[in-house]
Amino acid sequence: MASLKELRTRISSVKNTQKITKAMQMVAAAKLRKAQQAAERSRPYSDRIGAVITNLSASMAGSEGAPKLLVGTGSDQTHLLVIATADRGLCGGFNTNIVRAAREEIVSLEKLGKTVKIMCVGKKGHDQLERLYGDKIIDFISLKEHKTLNAAIAGEIGGKITDMFDAGEFDICKLIYSKFVNVMTQEPTVKTMIPAIVAVGSRTGNADDGPSAADDVFAPDLKGAAYEYEPDEEGILKVLLPRNINTQIFAALLENNAGEMGSKMTAMDNATRNAGEMIDKLTLTFNRTRQAQITSELIEIISGAEAL
């Protein structure tokens, strides 16, 4: 049985830990609101740029001048997975869930005989994936160097991706991140960025035609309207498609940031409550030990008095 001094030290240590977890919970709660607003505000812009690309791509259906970012290379052998996680821990299973989704995607692609390359955004994902797939990681981008999330970070990542695509280093690029739903729920998401997947209007094509068929392409719902574009569609898409990649990356980073704060707030709240329960148990043990010690001393005094 632990001595009174040891129990007193442990109680003091757990109380100090509880103060830290409580402070971290309050900081995460303060940051969560701003992060959630930023993530929610990015969604309409991302959806709208997808709708414009859909309309433009529909008018270029079958055109030989369609950009490669829209139609792809014609092959699906080499896949680049951009895996976005947080740079810090203490946020429950947030990073682990993203890495688990990435591992499932990697295993699925390797079973099909595909070549997989990995670009890690965020230290925690890189650390976990390096143990199993260190030979597949071709780039690592840490977010610690940037004080705040901004479009420049997404532009830097997007520029690397488009340069690699232009150099023919991969055929398909997928982004893996965690979509923020609420404080308790974050959904690991796998999204194809290259070739561009348009998702507005009604579905066309046959689901049995294979993975590269039109089951991922949607016909736009123009609601009877006719659009004319200046300059031509090809010129607009050459500018818009790289910007769409940057937009998707930035939106994913904002979703990740909100999810990280929500998961951290929940994890620190649980840690604070667990620390409180541990303090109660240690205090009870301390009181019982002290009472037993007092009783033992009284018995010794009484026994000594009777012996006299």
CATH of residue 14: 1.10.287.80
Model pLDDT for residues 202-237, shown as the tens digit of each residue:
333 443 443 333 334 444 455 555 666 677 777 788
91 catalytic? Reply is: yes
Same domain, 221 and 280: no
Q: Which is catalytic among the residues 7, 70, 91, 157?
A: 91
d(CA 72, CA 225): 28
Same domain, 115 and 251: yes
Beta strands in the chain (DSSP E): 78-84, 115-121, 137-141, 172-180, 186-194, 202-203, 218-219
> Is 29 a domain residue?
no
Domain of 99, in residue numbers = 34-266
Total tally of structural domains belonging to the chain: 2
Same domain, 17 and 107: no
Same domain, 43 and 177: yes
CA 75 to the chain's CA centroid: 28
Same domain, 181 and 276: no
Handedness of CA 271, 277, 278, 283 (dihedral sign): positive
> Is 168 a domain residue?
yes
Same domain, 258 and 146: yes
Model pLDDT for residues 114-138, shown as the tens digit of each residue:
999 999 998 998 989 988 898 999 9
Most confident of 58-67, 128-137, 292-301: 128-137
Q: Is-contact 106 117, C-beta < 8 A?
A: no
Q: Tell me the pTM.
A: 0.79
Q: Coil, helix or strand for 140?
A: strand
Same domain, 274 and 252: no
